[in-house]
Structure 1
Amino acid sequence: MLTEGAGACTHPLAFVRAQRGWSYQRLARVVARRARDLGVANMAAERQKVWRWEHRGVVPDRVSQLALAAELGVSTDRVESHPWPAWLPTGDVVRTDYPWSGVGSVTSMIDVVEDALTDRRGFLTITGTGVATLASEWLKLEPAHLTAARDGGQVDAQIVNRIEHNIPGLRLMDDRLGGESVRRLVDAELGVVTELLARGSYTEEIGMRLQLLAAELARVAGWASFDAGYHTSAQRYWIAALHAAHAAGDRLIGANIMKNMALQCVDFARPREAVELANAAVASAGGISGRAGAMLQMRLARAHAALGEPTECSRALARCETAFERATPQDPAWAGIFDEGAYAAQIGICYIDLGHLAHADRWLEQALEVHSAVRARDHATYLLRRAAVQIDLGNLDHGCALVREVVPLLEATRSQRNGRRAEEVRRRLRRHASDPQAREVDQLLVRPT
């Protein structure tokens, strides 16, 4: 469960509240006050009413909408022409209608490097049918060939080699420092590749390599944005990455991008859309085994666990195990992160979502035994997950010990996702506020989050 502040995710009203620092009760009072200005004197300022607008799909009555619009400076005409919640002022939508071609890929890259870093929204923009359509379109497409640019300087293999050489370092920095620390650096690299694609002159082979670079850089930029809490930015990067992967004819990179998008949906309580994306990723990869295939199956397992489907989750975990046992040195470089520790930890997280805490704890314990603390962000994730499980199992002392272990890692990495997990642990600790140890470690978590 997310806090009210962390609830800025799927509904535009959540963004409006987060932007203005409104709780549900505060927003209810604002609407009631504005309604009095409109001549409705007896409107109750009910927190539950606002919560239902955001979480249950309840459409506010006309007076409430006009009252909120007045507070937000939105005209009555816009309220009339854009049915709730479309009139809420949340900025531009994420564009998904780029042509599936080389030109469409370049256009999507130009758009994303201009806009993504300035976006400050904390909710998912593409949901529901938009996710399903994107997944189905990706699976139907045939690889396209990129034609040479008509003008600009020559892009040779030496330039491409140099940019390719930088990518493992960017992945490593993201893994060890967190997304907030590296997202601008990755965006700058993506900007260089985008400019080469848009203005340079190159052979078809070089063009394909540039598209592959753009796809992976946009994927990493999306992941860093996701980790840092810029969720609409992440979607923008990943849409551009998918188009670049298609232009390069690399469906495995596309599958990895959709795998990332599926996890974002899991994080923000959109499990059905996560299943859509994870299934598309598995189908796109065409039955690949090894670490890459295992990662895709694990993401599908996570989605089914979040949806509360233990049978489907178990089936995906079995396929994941089979694929993982066939790992080879020839697995894609981006799959190297899925080692024994990550594998065990993800199984444990599946069991958390399914409510089997004892099983989850055993897998998380195994994960932490073999996972390298050098990969600070992921190690912190697993420690926080296990701390929460231990507290829920009634083992407060052990949970507190795990919190003490995780604090230096949280201070070393800038990860909004881990900040949210730390808040979840703090909520558990507050249930034991009478215990001096619980109060002490609760305060330890204040600074890093």
Structure 2
Amino acid sequence: MNDQARRAQFGAHLASLRRDAGLSQRSLALRLCAVAGITTLTRNEVSRWERGGRIPDAWLPPLAQVLGVPLHELEQAAAYARGDTHAALPGVAATLADLLPDGDAVEPLAAPCGRRIGATTVEGLAARVHGLRLADDVLYGGDLIAPAFRELRAAVRLYRESEHSEETGRGLLVQIGELGQIAGWIASDAGCGEDAERAYRLGISAARQAGDAVLVAQLAGSLGYHLSNGGREREGLELANAAVVEAGPDAPAATRALFLDRVAWAHTRAGEAQPALRALGEAHAALDATDGPPAPSWAYWVRREELEVMDARVFTELRRPLRAVPLLQDVLGRYDATHAREVALYRSWLAVALADANEPEQAAEEARRVIDTSGDLPSERTAERARTVLRRLKEYKDVPEAREVLADHGHLLLA
């Protein structure tokens, strides 16, 4: 794991401790100033700590006092963030190295042995997996990374250490695959990219052994999306296309639409406009299909408005704001406001599209909404999108509205 990922994990851990104490970033800064007897610490500096931009070494004793945690735990966490291989991060899951077989990550998992389990155990695990997916709709990577990886480790251990029928074993492998997907998504949201990739690859291994081609495609497409967004565009595109092939033409309509949407995004990130637009059209056509098998439970969120958001993201990335802005405004007018992360993300695309349309005043208004919505969220996705919007507004720094937003929130670019 690289240094930035360690600092991001430390920041997520610190943010979790703050929320457990019932404090906002501003109130934490005020209490720390009172304990230390100074007045120079601001909410912006607390935000920088929680985004992994800085380690608050000198502030560890006051933090321990205000947050009500042992000082040695914070010191150990800070050592972990600085790259000490002998330190651990309390409350945050370790990487998946202990779960993966030596060598190739898609080698079969070890043969089971131990207590016998049956379908009831698989059903209970499936319910917890779906509960974790639903939690991700309203919570964020920093909140969920520990329970997600704990569930994943426990599921792998259950498969390896229990006795079960072939059917039960396949059911366990399917749930490990689904857990690998949601744990990878959560780790990516928490800014832990290497952990995300490991989780996705473990999930692919399990789904392949289970013979679930659609789930393999879901994991491969998720990993491709992760790589496309992380600067590995060609690898991401290869995986996105492979997912469509793996699932096949008879895959459930919602899943095929999802996989084609990821192809569109991968082409967009690779700078290939026409293939991206073709894939968008194919995704809509796939979702319109009325025949075929029912969608798996993990595809519950794939619907028309989600495809429209991807349309708008592609149009924005391709600098076609006249197509992006109306779509985003329409979707945001109908979107569930309890999904704060998604609302912040979609508004960030709207802000960029408005800037591209030479509407800096409206772009600045949307940028402020993005930051107000996402400021305290333990989500690296929203943090990075906020930085993207601020960088775009710098091109309009002579416009008063944009200049005010940059003056209030420009420090986020230093995180």
2:110 and 2:357 mapped to 1: Cα distance?
Answer: 60
Superposed CA offset, 1:382-413 (max 9, x none): 10111111123221221122223333431463
**Is the Cα contact below 8 Å between 1:113 and 1:191 reproduced in 2?**
no
Residue 328 of structure 2 corresponds to: 364
1:350 to 314, 321, 330: 314
Q: 1:334 to 1:90 in 2, by over 3 A?
A: farther
Which amino acid is 2:303 matched to? Answer: D
2:262 to 281, 292, 299: 299
Which amino acid is 2:246 matched to? Answer: S
Residue 112 of structure 1 corresponds to: 96
Residue 374 of structure 1 corresponds to: 338
Task: Tell me the TM-score normalised to structure 1 length.
Answer: 0.65
SS at match of 2:337: coil
Which amino acid is 1:312 matched to? Answer: P
Task: Tell me the TM-score normalised to structure 2 length.
Answer: 0.71
Residue 16 of structure 2 corresponds to: none
Identity level (%): 28
1:285 to 235, 242, 247: 247
After superposition, residues 29-428 of structure 1 pair within 5 angstroms as 112=96, 114=98, 149=112, 151-287=113-249, 288-326=251-289, 330-411=294-375, 413-428=377-392
Q: 1:433 to 1:276 in 2, by over 3 A?
A: same
2:203 and 2:231 mapped to 1: Cα distance?
Answer: 24
**Is the Cα contact below 8 Å between 1:262 and 1:274 reproduced in 2?**
yes
1:115 and 1:90 mapped to 2: Cα distance?
Answer: 22
Which amino acid is 1:246 matched to? Answer: R
**Is the Cα contact below 8 Å between 1:226 and 1:264 reproduced in 2?**
yes
CA RMSD in angstroms, aligned pairs only: 3.2
1:257 and 1:17 mapped to 2: Cα distance?
Answer: 25
Larger radius of gyration: 1
Which amino acid is 1:264 matched to? Answer: H
Moved over 4 A (4+): 15-20, 444-449
Shift of the alpha carbon at 1:172? 1.7
Superposed CA offset, 1:307-365 (max 9, x none): 22222122212211111112689312222222222111101111122222222223222
Q: 1:289 to 1:400 in 2, by over 3 A?
A: same
Q: 1:318 to 1:181 in 2, by over 3 A?
A: same
Gaps of 5+ in 1: 1-11, 21-88, 92-109, 117-132
Which amino acid is 1:296 matched to? Answer: F
Residue 64 of structure 2 corresponds to: none
Q: 1:302 to 1:90 in 2, by over 3 A?
A: farther
2:125 and 2:4 mapped to 1: Cα distance?
Answer: 41
Aligned residue pairs, count: 325
1:351 and 1:90 mapped to 2: Cα distance?
Answer: 43
Gaps of 5+ in 2: 8-82, 86-93
